[in-house]
């Protein structure tokens, strides 16, 4: 499957990403802090978005380096989450991860938001299977003491007709040995 080399608008693309597109890596996804680059028909790599001073002409180099460091740290945190979660059928497959990038399965069918808009409505049995799959995946994620606070259709990918959760940034990892209480009502009912 040959993808064209596509670059996002210059305002969202730093020098490192220019190098990636020149190396023949198509940008297949663009987020706040990272880019998804095409590797082959089965794999992509998520890398931190970095900028040059040219991208922020009204700011000094300290500001640009702060943004770049924050994006790199976001990628490192997400890498640790994938390592903690390991393999699970309701989570996008992470083949390997480093501080440079996270190599993931390529969701050729896109995200659930686009799938809903462009494809025919699935049969009830498929919808039920999807709901159960997502429930199981979220239960597993929480059992690994990871609190996901960004559940959105764009972060649910479709691979071979199955749903996979992705984009674990930002999330809140909780110490693995910590027991989480379920009596949140007392806290929310308090009048301060």
DSSP line for 9-21: -GGG--HHHHHHH
pLDDT of residue 188: 40
Q: Is residue 4 part of a domain?
A: no
pLDDT over 70 for what percent of the chain?
A: 76
When pLDDT is cut at 50, 70 and 90, the band that residue 8 belongs to is very low
pLDDT of 97 above 90: yes
The candidate with the shortest Cα–Cα distance to 26, out of 105, 34, 35, is: 35
pLDDT of 125 above 60: yes
When pLDDT is cut at 50, 70 and 90, the band that residue 56 belongs to is confident
Q: Is residue 105 part of a domain?
A: yes
Q: What DSSP line would sit under 107-168, residue for residue?
A: -TT-BHHHHHHHSPPPPHHHHHHHHHHHHHHHHHHHHTTEEE----GGGEEEETTEEEE---
Q: Is residue 147 part of a domain?
A: yes
DSSP single-letter state for residue 104? E
Q: Is residue 184 part of a domain?
A: no
Name which residue leads in pLDDT, 152 or 18: 152
pLDDT tens across 138-192, in order?
999 999 988 887 789 999 999 999 999 998 876 665 666 666 555 444 444 444 3
Residues, the chain: 192
Q: Is residue 89 part of a domain?
A: yes
The CATH number covering residue 116 comes to 1.10.510.10
Mean pLDDT check: name the lowest of 32-36, 46-50, 61-65, 167-171.
167-171
Q: Is residue 62 part of a domain?
A: yes
Q: Is residue 191 part of a domain?
A: no
When pLDDT is cut at 50, 70 and 90, the band that residue 24 belongs to is low
- Total domain count, the chain: 1
Note down the domain range covering 31: 10-173
Q: Is residue 98 part of a domain?
A: yes
């Amino acid at each position: 499957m040959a993808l064209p080399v596509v670059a996002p608008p210059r305002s969202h693309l730093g020098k490192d990403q220019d190098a990636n597109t020149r190396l023949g890596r198509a940008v297949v996804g663009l987020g706040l802090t990272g880019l998804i680059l095409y590797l082959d028909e089965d794999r992509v790599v998520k890398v931190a978005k970095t900028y040059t001073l040219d991208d922020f002409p009204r700011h000094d180099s300290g500001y640009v380096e702060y943004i770049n460091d924050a994006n790199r740290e976001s990628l490192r945190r997400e890498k640790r989450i994938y390592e903690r979660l390991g393999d699970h059928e309701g989570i996008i497959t992470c083949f390997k991860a480093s501080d440079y990038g996270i190599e993931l399965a390529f969701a050729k069918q896109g995200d659930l938001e686009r799938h809903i808009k462009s494809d025919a409505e699935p049969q009830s049995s498929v919808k039920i299977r999807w709901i159960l799959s997502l429930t199981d995946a979220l239960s597993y994620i929480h059992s690994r003491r990871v609190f996901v606070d960004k559940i959105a259709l764009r972060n649910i990918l479709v691979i071979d007709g199955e749903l996979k959760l992705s984009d674990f940034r930002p999330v809140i990892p909780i110490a693995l040995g910590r027991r989480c209480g379920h009596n949140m009502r007392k806290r929310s009912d308090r009048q301060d």
